[in-house]
A = this chain, B = another copy of it.
Amino acid sequence: MRGSVLRSGRMVYRDDLPEPVPGPGQVLVDIKACGICGSDLHFAKHGDDVLTASAQLEGLSAGVGVSVELGADVFMGHEFSAEILDAGPGTEAPPAGTLVTSVPVLLSQAGVEMIVYSNTTFGGYAERMVLSAPLLLSVPNGLDARHAALTEPMAVGLHAVNKSDITRGETALVIGCGPIGIAIIAALKARGVETIVASDFSAKRRELALAVGAHRTVDPADGSPFESTSPAVVFEAVGAPGVIDDVLRRAPSRTRLVVAGVCMQPDAVHPFFGIAKEINVQFVFGYDPAEFANSLRSIAEGEVDVAPMITGEVGLDAVGEAFDELSDPDRHCKILVEPNL
């Protein structure tokens, strides 16, 4: 079958991938759309660093670490929607033709595997893949498959907002309006937060922030957002060195800082700044299955409008170019890979 794989730092089109075969408890699906995630871009460029940092980590739950060989082709794509084609042996599943999505986790007799970076398990940058029957969510309300593919990134934003415990009357400042920042803004709006301020250097991204629910935007080139905002909760969705320390230095006393941007490099912070103001820093990652299901429901019910986020759609043979284009923040938010294009 056809697909796009990571080879030596570049996404490469292949039309000779073996056909995936569902095992017991699994289904074979026909992929309709798969979003390109910033973490895929990062992994393509800095896979070595990701694996080195992951290897240093202790205290993780079993199976959460990443184990992949960069010398071989790597399959990626974890933001997908798909139609059921067939079920594995003895497997109960929705009927063929049902549009579904799923948390990117594959259950098999071998155990639990994240569908994120793998040399053996296909992700969403392909025609077909295997999913776990118990984890499938049927897409309701006739929701467009392209919109259903945004369940995953919107769940990331929802989880960050849930972890912040923000109340409607508290002011939120979202720093960085890439896909994660946009998902956070949409979740804040769905929660009814009355003052959402969004900060980004890109005019296009600030526009998008307003489209999904920000009440006001700030261009940090004109001065720190803290000059005009006194937030109770700050969401860091940039993931670049220096942002956390700047928040510690400028934010009001007792600010809750939610770090959702994934900075892989060592980052210099002044603990003294955090201490003097008793800042709380909540690092966040992913979502739980209930949040994933809520994310799908809120998109399907129109509480969250993901349409403005989709700034590009490409076929499997153009994934490499899409990865390149996504490095320009003024041009794109989310590009969907659609095997039928």
Contacts and interface: CB of A to CB of B under 8 A. Distances in A.
A237 to B, nearest CB: 12
Given A253-B59, A283-B279, A269 B272 contact: no
Nearest to A281: B281
A203 interface: no
Interface in A224-259: 226, 230, 239, 244-245, 249-253, 255, 259
Contacts of A259: 271, 274-275
Nearest to A239: B271
A143 interface: no
A268 interface: yes
A206 to B, nearest CB: 23
B277 A271 contact: no
A263 B57 CA distance: 23
Nearest to A243: B271
B268 A57 contact: no
Contacts of A60: 253, 276-277
Interface string A285-313: 10000000000000000000000000000
A249 B58 contact: yes
Interface residues of A, number: 48
Contact of A283 (B249, B277, B283): B277
A59 B279 CA distance: 11
Among A266, A272, A273, max chain B CB count under 10 A is at A272
Nearest to A261: B271
> How many copies make up the complex?
2
A245 B283 CA distance: 13
A282 interface: yes
Contacts of A264: 270-272
A48 interface: no
Contact of A58 (B57, B250, B268): B250
Contact of A275 (B252, B255, B268, B285): B285
A64 interface: yes
A340 interface: no
A284 interface: yes
A280 interface: yes
A61 interface: yes
A60 B57 CA distance: 35
Interface in A204-238: 226, 230
B283 A278 contact: yes
Given A58-B249, A59-B226, A274-B283, 14 more contacts: A53-B272, A56-B273, A57-B249, A58-B250, A59-B253, A60-B253, A263-B271, A266-B270, A267-B271, A269-B269, A275-B285, A277-B283, A280-B280, A280-B281
17 contacts: A56-B270, A59-B230, A163-B278, A239-B271, A244-B271, A245-B266, A259-B271, A259-B274, A262-B271, A265-B270, A266-B269, A266-B270, A271-B283, A274-B283, A275-B283, A277-B285, A281-B283
